[in-house]
């Protein structure tokens, strides 16, 4: 029994020693929007403002400014299309103040017509201890609007 307890203690200590570092949000989000390519900068700003205004601020009446009508959704909990987006997010509550920054934003990268945003994601391990990991949202931009979205959500 003592040897089993020792092994469990050793494994626990080893996991702690090799645990990843906490995910830290960016100190200056405005610098994340910069790019030497004006199209990439515009795509970053579109995804950033969509996240601030529509997702965080729940300004659903403005969703069509950012999303195409036939917007494709890859989150398994949200129906595809602008209407599917509106149906899902209207269940989460009404408008809130639009934040100056995006909560927990770590980075924004853009390449071609894709923009990826990463965020601090807080979770709890099996012991109940809180830790951070990373959440990702990726958007495809066509003609100045978001036409497709991916994230790491599960059912």
Domain boundaries, the chain: 28-151
Residue 73 three-state SS: strand
Task: Identify the pLDDT of residue 26.
Answer: 96
Query: Using 50, 70 and 90 to split pLDDT, how confident is the model at 13?
Result: very low
The CATH topology of domain 28-151 is Nuclear Transport Factor 2; Chain: A, (3.10.450)
State pTM to two decimals.
Answer: 0.85
Question: pLDDT of 128-155, one tens digit each?
Answer: 999 999 999 999 999 999 999 999 888 8
pLDDT band at 18 (very low <50, low <70, confident <90, very high): low
pLDDT tens profile 87-116: 999 999 999 999 999 999 999 999 999 999
Q: How far is CA 101 from CA 25, 33, 74, 126, 154, in A?
A: 11, 12, 25, 32, 26
Higher-scoring residue by pLDDT: 100, 14: 100
């Amino acid at each position: 029994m003592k040897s089993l307890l020792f092994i469990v203690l050793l494994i626990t200590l080893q996991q702690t020693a090799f645990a990843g570092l906490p995910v830290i949000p960016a100190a200056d989000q405005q610098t994340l929007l910069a790019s030497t390519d004006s199209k990439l900068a515009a795509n970053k700003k579109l995804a950033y403002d969509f996240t601030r205004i529509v997702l965080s601020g729940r300004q659903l009446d403005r969703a069509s400014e950012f999303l195409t009508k036939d917007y494709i959704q890859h989150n398994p909990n949200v129906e595809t299309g602008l209407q599917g987006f509106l149906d899902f997010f209207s269940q989460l509550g009404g408008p809130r103040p639009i934040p100056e920054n995006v909560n927990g934003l770590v980075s924004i990268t853009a390449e071609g017509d894709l923009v990826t945003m990463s965020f601090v994601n807080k979770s709890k391990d099996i012991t109940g201890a809180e830790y951070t990991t990373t959440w990702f949202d990726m958007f495809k931009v066509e003609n100045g609007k978001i036409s497709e979205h991916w994230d790491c959500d599960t059912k």
